[in-house]
Amino acid sequence: MGFGGTTGYAFPDTPLLGAMLGALAGAINGVTMIGVIFGAEVFLPRTRLGHALERVPFLVTFVVKFLVYGTVIVVVVGGKPGWRLAGAVATVFLSPELSPAISAQIEAPTGSSMVRAFWLVGGGIFLLQMIRLVGERTLRDVVFGRYHRSRTEERFFLFVDVIGSTPLAERIGPDAVHHFLGEVFRLASDPIDDNRGDVYQYVGDEIVITWTVAEGRDGARPVACFFAIEQALERAAPAFEREFGAVPRLRAALHAGPVITGEVGGSRRAIVYHGDVMNTTSRIEQATRDLERQYLVSGDALERLADLEGFALEDLGLQRLRGRAAAMHVYAVTAKPSTNGQKTI
């Protein structure tokens, strides 16, 4: 837009009007390119093509997107729809004398403009792919040094464990079970993002997801997240059955409390959490086996959550967790069925 305005300002005799038309032309071209690319980045990941791109190496995804988006650049920058519309506006509503100057812009070489656009789009694609690799919040926190000095935070931690991965590996082999878990984790990513969670780490067949208490409180997001993951896996159950001969089943534990959050590492930086909350959440997850419940939530987590109306809570009282001297109040949580027979989350 700014470049178009500058170009139009150089029109002889009518610099101000030329600048306005140039800004209009730049805005149309820019909105067209950004709209197509942004729309693809928002909607493509949830399509079959987007899922296929997630399974290929980083470089392949980058090259494919660069070529596709590059085609958009060539069509828009080369075709100059903005300047063509500006010429039509000038001819019909403004000054027909501007038409020769606008025609000159339409006929002008586009090489330098395309090079600038390719550099900008290439940088944008690379940044978006980096965000997908390390996570938006993690990349932002590292870049801006939010945790360069450690701080104490109140956080939820949700441990989601895939049941039976060890016997499954014995039956179908380690390579197949790797793909099985990879597909589970991929399907879990959208529900995690929808509920504003951060994947802290993947540990074997387990996902560790975290929220600050402020981020997770409304809508009981850590609770809703688990059942959203479960629903996503239920929808994909036929595909799992066909490919692996097994359907993923989950168990989970949620706890909350203070942790020390800080940035560590040298050549590879990471945001890590230290505190008893992590160990306690792991102990609660182990208790799902002993108590024969799918999803356990500590009383400490429950009192920090709001909007729990869509969930049924079963008070299991004080429970002795392995490795802990003090008993902890624990609840089993299930999703209430809605009027249409689906679980509410």
pLDDT in tens, 36-55: 777 777 677 667 777 677 66
Domain count, the chain: 2
Q: Which of 81, 72, 103 is nearest to 26 (CA)?
A: 81
> Tell me, what's the pLDDT at 166?
85
Shared-domain flag, residues 233 and 277: yes
**Identity at 106, one-letter amino acid code:** I
Where is average pLDDT lowest: 4-8, 43-47, 118-122, 227-231? 4-8
Shared-domain flag, residues 189 and 164: yes
Shared-domain flag, residues 39 and 172: no
Q: Which of 212, 219, 210 is nearest to 254 (CA)?
A: 210
Average pLDDT, the chain: 79
Mean pLDDT (whole number) for 192-219 = 94
Report whether pLDDT(288) > 60: yes
Q: What are phi and psi of 342, to 5 degrees?
A: -90, 155
Q: What percent of the chain has pLDDT over 90?
A: 41
Shared-domain flag, residues 130 and 180: no
- Structural domain contains residue 341: no
Shared-domain flag, residues 149 and 191: yes
Report yes or no: 257 and 302 within 8 Å, Cβ to Cβ.
Answer: no
Q: Domain of residue 128: give its range.
A: 2-134
Report whether pLDDT(88) > 90: no
| Structure-model confidence comparison of residues 144 and 185, the more confident one | 185
* Chain Cα centroid distance, residue 224: 17
> Tell me, what's the pLDDT at 96?
54
Mean pLDDT (whole number) for 202-213 = 94
> Tell me, what's the pLDDT at 339?
37
- Structural domain contains residue 345: no
Shared-domain flag, residues 190 and 118: no
Question: Is the Cα torsion angle 313, 318, 322, 326 positive or negative in sign?
Answer: positive
Burial letters 277-290, b for 16+ CB under 10 A, else e: bbebbbbbbbbbee
